[in-house]
Amino acid sequence: MSLKVLLINPKRFGDDRGWFSEVYNKNKFSEVGITDEFVQDNHSLSVPVGTLRGLHFQTPPHAQAKLVRCIRGKIFDVAVDVRRNSPTFGKWVGAELSAENGRQLYIPVGFAHGFVTLEPSTEVTYKVTDFYAAANDGGIAWNDPEVNIDWPLPAGVKPLLSPKDEKQPQLSDFDSPFDYDGTPLTLLEI
């Protein structure tokens, strides 16, 4: 299991028909430290620009690492360190993922995840390492001033949130069950 947030750039092989890309290979991913077993794939469609999903996580014993990619449109994807005693607790990293750039973001256990759509009718798929468990579903507020994410919303666009995301707690009210593992938050591009 990797302890770092990784921005992955799968190679694309193109010709006059289009392109081919291998987006997951267990052996190649293990070479960069991702040894997780993914057990569920999720797929979301967000029609309006400015749809904001997050910041979400699942708590132990059903904590999830995620491998996120955008297959249509464009998102700004974010990981927030929520591991207690981490020197980077409450800090975030983000990256633009799009169907065009083919990038993926690997988010280990102990990080909250969220994204905002930057184009209409955006589709996102992600692999997770544990099954959905409603009793372990958690999150923090997308606009928590302590975290202070610089969401790149287009001018005049107000984020569209689910009722659940409108009521998420502040980071200061969250008693984290995630332990710091000795690796501070970094975004490593591979």
Give catalytic residues, as residue numbers.
Answer: 56, 126
Name residue, tokens 């593992």: 181
Burial group, residue 18, by CB count within 10 angstroms (0-12, 13-18, 19+): exposed
Q: Contact at 8 Å (CB) between 116 and 75?
A: yes
Which parts of the chain fold into alpha helices (H)? 26-31, 163-166
DSSP 3-state assignment of 42?
strand
Distance from C-alpha of 70 to C-alpha of 131, rounded to nearest angstrom: 21
CA-nearest of 15, 10, 13 to 28 is 10
Q: Which residues contact 146 (CB under 8 A, 6 or more apart)?
A: 90, 170, 171, 172
